[in-house]
Amino acid sequence: MELTFKEFLRGGKEQLAKAGFAEVEAEHLLAHTLGISRMDLHNPLTVENALAAIGDMSVVEETFWKLLDRRCTHEPLQYLTGVAYFRHLEIKVGPGVLVPRPESELLVEAALNYIEKINGPVSVVDLGSGSGALALSIATEAPNTHVIAVEKSPDAIVWLKENVSFIDEKVRILESDVQDALVGVKCDVVIANPPYVPDSQELPRDVQGHEPAIALFGGIDGMKVPRLFITTAARLLKSGGFLAIEHHEQQGTEIAAVLLEDFADIILHNDLTGRPRFTTAVRR
């Protein structure tokens, strides 16, 4: 059984490799099929118990090959497994919501560093929260925060609600367009990952046609939506409040120019790949 299982997994890796995908993705898909973790694939007893619980190797085989076929059509791996890993969290994702990227983890880190310097409770607003990855990371890593996640997409809100109920029910969800959100409210921190891709930019096949366009494209030059988010952030933040906003690698100068009207201490930060990815600023 073990040899057959290893050959089975090897066949999945070969299929993905021929299609140009990383072989390790076969492990993620097979672990998902068996209902175990990827690391448990290397534990023969755990694998044997998982197979015994399913009871029919043909069911495992059929499910696994279907997932492989879907991956080869560039359906996001995270949509297939239902999970995206972000910092210390397992975020549930699927069609209708943007898959959180590792590049956004440093934005969260910057916000946490600011929050750490504040004594007492800290109010945080996540604009365009999507799956809630940023909001929930802040809420779980900084217990002194009160976090509001703002999202308008009905499809994304389904995932946001599921993640909040599963990870931290204290996060408040506000179903609202960013422009109309929290009128009259002031907060200490705003974090945002707005749609910022220029409308004409061609995206990788894993993204284009799978992840929601509403969460990706920000207008002709990609700046229309970020400008709206910055306007809302300026309205929400107290004097001295902190903003961290993600943007396209080529938008740093334009973002800074928009921020100059209401913000100081404007700093451009690189992501994990060394490319300009987000900007922080302090409300004057």
Sole residue written with tokens 């396209």? 248
Structure tokens at 273: 């790949």
Q: What is the pLDDT of residue 58?
A: 84
In angstroms, rounded to a whole number, what is the distance separating the alpha carbons of residues 215 and 205?
Answer: 16
Q: What is the pLDDT along the chain (284 residues), one digit of tens a residue?
A: 444 677 888 999 999 999 999 999 999 999 999 999 999 998 989 988 998 898 888 888 899 999 999 999 999 999 999 999 999 999 999 999 999 999 999 999 999 999 999 999 999 999 999 999 999 999 999 999 999 999 999 999 999 999 999 999 999 999 999 999 999 999 999 999 999 999 999 999 999 889 999 999 999 999 999 999 999 999 999 999 999 999 999 999 999 999 999 999 999 999 988 999 999 999 99
Closest listed residue to residue 152, CA positions, set 131, 135, 133, 175 = 175
Question: How is the beta sheet containing 263-270 ordered, strand by strand?
Answer: 172-175, 145-151, 122-127, 187-192, 237-246, 276-283, 263-270
In angstroms, rounded to a whole number, what is the distance separating the alpha carbons of residues 270 and 26?
Answer: 31
**Residue 131 near residue 91 (C-beta atoms within 8 A):** yes
Q: What is the pLDDT of residue 57?
A: 82
Q: What is the pLDDT of residue 257?
A: 98
Structure tokens at 118: 């504040």
Sole residue written with tokens 């994702």? 93
- Give the other-Cβ count within 10 Å of 73's Cβ: 11
Q: What is the pLDDT of residue 3?
A: 45
**CA 269 vs CA 5, 107, 135, 136, 260: distances in Å:** 45, 8, 20, 22, 17
Strand partners, 34: none
- Euclidean distance between the first and the last CA atom of the chain, given in angstroms as a whole number: 66
**Residue 97 near residue 132 (C-beta atoms within 8 A):** no
3-state secondary structure the chain: CHHHHHHHHHHHHHHHHHCCCCCHHHHHHHHHHHCCCCHHHHCHHHHHHHHHHHCCHHHHHHHHHHHHHHHHCCCCHHHHHCEEEECCEEEECCCCCCCCCHHHHHHHHHHHHHHHCCCCCEEEEEECCCCCHHHHHHHHHCCCEEEEEEECCHHHHHHHHHHHHHHCCCCEEEECCHHHCCCCCCEEEEEECCCCECCCCCCCCCCCCCCCHHHCECCCCCCHHHHHHHHHHHHHEEEEEEEEEECCCCCHHHHHHHHCCCEEEEEEEECCCCCEEEEEEEEC
